[in-house]
Amino acid sequence: MTSNWQWVAVFALSGLAAAPLAAWIVRLLPARLLAVIVGGAIVVVNARTLLGALAYTASPPP
């Protein structure tokens, strides 16, 4: 049970470290570039779902 709380602590501490860094980066980058980066990240993260929706299979031929 303690390992679950350790993960919670790790995620909380990493969030505390990442939030100021993200705020600083957002302040520096132009809005259009930030939108392209976020949109690209969403596409990359959901690539498997998108390929599945297009009926593409990644399995090798028999």
DSSP code string of 1-62? -HHHHHHHHHHHHHHHHHHHHHHHHHHHS-HHHHHHHHHHHHHHHTHHHHHHHTT---SPP-
The predicted structure's pLDDT at residue 56: 63
Confidence tier at 60 by pLDDT (50, 70, 90): low
Structure tokens at 25: 């980066």
pLDDT, mean of residues 34-54: 88
pTM, two decimal places: 0.56
Please indicate whether residue 1 or residue 43 has the higher confidence score (pLDDT): 43
Residue ranges of domains in the chain: 2-53
How far apart CA 40 and CA 45 sit, in angstroms, is 9
Q: Render pLDDT for 2-39 as a digit per residue (tens, 0 to 9).
A: 678 899 999 999 999 999 999 999 999 999 999 999 99
CA 56 to the chain's CA centroid: 23
Structure tokens at 7: 């993960």
